[in-house]
Amino acid sequence: MPEELFADDDAPVEVLSSDVVFDGYVWDVRRESFEYGGETLRRDFVDHPGAVAVFALDDEDRVLVIKQYRHPVRRREWEPPAGLLDVASEPALDAAKRELAEEADLEADTWNVLVDYLTTPGGNNEAIRIYLARGVRATGSAFDREAEEADMELRWVPLSELVDAALDSRVQNPSLVIGALAASLSRSRGWSTLKPADAPWPARPGAGG
């Protein structure tokens, strides 16, 4: 008998109530009551639209990263181009292409799903899909950037250097750390782990695709 595939399981529960208790500027806090293990439980969590991130890789195995101010941690941190899935019904791939253009003035010929992950499943439902973009080139136009994006710094960094920085905790953005490790391992396997750009994404909040 084949061994069961090691994987997370979906766990459908009966949700008894679901209310927004804080209507935020970017995302909300939701309170839900649900049945689990024979009892009624109540939990508050950040209700997040989900996000995408892009590992843009050039012909020299360098990854495009940006340095941006993040107020909750009071740091300017390195991260891949990324953004919220806050446009109703927008396919995740379209959002990734938009973010790469808006944050880095780049487009790409080839897109694949590198890895999906849940950021903090004990406290929010944020799901992030990281794409690998190759055949990268300038769009020929430049976006006007404002707020935290106005002073972004862009840099092309060798993938191996990103891995070293992640393992040494010199960079701590989760999409950068997870993406760097996933890309390095995938490259060592001849990119055989990559998935189609339109691969199903059942964990995406409210959608699944």
Q: Which of 191, 82, 64, 85 is nearest to 138 (CA)?
A: 64
Could you tell me which of 75, 65, 53 has the C-alpha nearest to residue 155?
A: 65
Helix (H) or strand (E) holding 100: helix 92-104
Amino acid at 173: N
What's the burial of 133, exposed, middle or buried (CB within 10 Å: 0-12/13-18/19+)? buried
Identity (one letter) of the amino acid at 152? M
39 is an active site residue:
no
39, 148, 149, 153: which one is catalytic? 149
User: Active-site residues: which are they?
Assistant: 149
